[in-house]
Amino acid sequence: MSVTEIETTKERLITSGLALMSEKSYHGAGLSEILKRADVPKGSFYHYFKSKENFAVEVIARNSMDHLEKMKSILSDKATSPMDRIYGYYSIMRDFYRSNGAQRSCLIAKLALEVSQLSEPLREAVKGAYDQWSQLLAETIREAQEIDEIDQSFDAEALANVLINDWEGATIRMQIEGNIKPLDDFFEVILEHGLKLKACKSD
Amino acid sequence: MSVTEIETTKERLITSGLALMSEKSYHGAGLSEILKRADVPKGSFYHYFKSKENFAVEVIARNSMDHLEKMKSILSDKATSPMDRIYGYYSIMRDFYRSNGAQRSCLIAKLALEVSQLSEPLREAVKGAYDQWSQLLAETIREAQEIDEIDQSFDAEALANVLINDWEGATIRMQIEGNIKPLDDFFEVILEHGLKLKACKSD
DNA sequence: AAAATAGTTGACCAGTCGGTCTAATATAGT
DNA sequence: ACTATATTAGACCGACTGGTCAACTATTTT
């Protein structure tokens, strides 16, 4: 039980930090507010984390891992075709924003711009998240190319990176527009149109 | 001369704020540092701007307008074909990051995530920038579609938004990766490959 | 020249920031 | 029971935040 208690305090801090940094930013989420929401005194915070920076690295890692697991559970489902899995993944993400509101977006994207210049460890944490996501997506794309669901002239890694980046760009726009139309545009132009075109160059 | 002096002080503040907020974030760029770099005392700042928030709105508007002018000068050059203009625009942007370093990126994208939930006026300023850029790009896309340089089955507005969003996503990734490969991926997958495919659906 | 306005200047403010420290308490090992 | 360690607890710290203010100078208007 003591072990679970230990986990619980740290857990509450990470959960609280995740929520607050997603809502406000890294600088916007003050320690005092994080502590208040987690109902944990400051001393305990500095027992588990050596600094706010260090704390944020763990928050990012946690968020990154959670999302990767979610991706895996969808993209590794061999019962469905690769392209349908990719489509399904983005559908689920879009549904999430549709029901949870277009205001709160991906923590990693949020911190990426704010913090990549501020702190090397934070930059690396964000980079790790992106790289893992891209790699997983690239595998699924390769599967799709093998059965000719996606044009083989695409470079799988490059396409995966572009898809990940495009989606993040769309979620940014979603936040400033206040609705999920940018995600719909991504679906229409990239997924439903662009990826289904065949290679017969115009020139 | 007195008029230009007046302009100069405000100008120096905006320039300084633009630089510092691009480098650090909105929260990361403190007033004192902005003032120090502009060599302007605090009192003068509050003579021209009623708050930091108000100041940031003007900084965003300025940055947005400058970029729009730059876009216009490239995308409205009727001497070149529409698609070449689009390609040229992104080439120039990529060259900029190639020579100026992959660390400093678009201020508007940077502030979009950090600040869209914090302040309505700031959100609107950012939204205005995006909307103007998208609109201008959409016009050029329509031109390209008229001469069949871009497949006519694309919705021009949606495609313009996607291009804008994708590019922002790519610059984010560029910053966390520390190099411009994400921009190269954008070129390869979106511009050189995706847009040149013709519509012959696979299903 | 007088009065009014525009702009400059930096000391000052309350509040908050991330972080430290010491004391108390709980838990575990012996 | 005794000791060592893990955890809780919050008062406290200097530094810095955005913002105010009253005094001052320069410019314009009348």
Query: Distance in angstroms, CA of B40 to C1' of C12?
Result: 18
Rg of chain A over all Cα atoms, to the nearest angstrom: 19
A101's CB contacts (< 8 A; 6+ apart) are: none
Which positions of chain B have pLDDT values less than 50?
Answer: 1-6, 199-203
Residue A100 contacts B, CB cutoff 8 Å: no
**Residue B33 contacts strand D, CB under 7 A:** yes
Round to whole Å and give the CA distance between A16 and A32. 11
pLDDT score for B177: 96
Backbone φ, ψ for residue A160 (5° rounding): -60, -45
Q: How far is A69 from chain B (nearest CA, A)?
A: 21
CB atoms within 10 A of CB B175: 26
Round to whole Å and give the CA distance between B150 and B142. 8
pLDDT score for A171: 97
What DSSP state is assigned to residue B188? I
pLDDT score for B105: 85
Over the stretch B58-73, which tens digit does the pLDDT of each residue have?
999 999 999 999 999 9
For each of chain A's 203 residues, which pLDDT tens digit applies?
A: 334 444 689 999 999 999 999 999 999 999 999 999 999 999 999 999 999 999 999 999 999 999 999 999 999 999 999 999 999 999 999 999 999 988 888 999 999 999 999 999 999 999 999 999 999 999 999 999 999 999 999 999 999 999 999 999 999 999 999 999 999 999 999 998 877 755 443 33
* Residue among A200, A183, A175 nearest A113 (CA): A175
Task: Show which of residues 15-44 on chain A sit within 8 Å of chain B, judged by CB atoms.
Answer: 23-25, 27-28
Which single residue has its CA nearest the C1' atom of nucleotide D10? A41
B167's CB contacts (< 8 A; 6+ apart) are: A169, B90, B93, B186
Q: How many CA atoms lie within 13 A of B180 on its CB side?
A: 18
Q: Which residues of A56-94 are buried (b: 16+ CB within 10 A; e: fewer)?
A: bbbbbebbbeebeeebeebbeeeeeebbebbbebbeebb
Round to whole Å and give the CA distance between B88 and B4. 36
Over the stretch A38-48, which tens digit does the pLDDT of each residue have?
999 999 999 99
3-state SS class at B85: helix
Residue B114 contacts A, CB cutoff 8 Å: yes
CA distances from A20 to A32, A70, A192, B172 (A): 11, 21, 35, 21
String of DSSP letters for B98-124: HHH-SSS--HHHHHHHHHTTT-HHHHH
% of chain B exceeding 70 in pLDDT: 93
Residue A127 contacts B, CB cutoff 8 Å: yes
B contacts of A169 (beta carbons < 8 Å): 164-170, 172
pLDDT score for B103: 85
CA distances from A42 to A5, A26, A32, A33, A113 (A): 17, 18, 8, 11, 28
Q: Is the pTM of this model over 0.85?
A: yes
pLDDT score for A194: 77
Record: contact A175-B25, CB cut-off 8 A: no
Residue B168 contacts A, CB cutoff 8 Å: yes
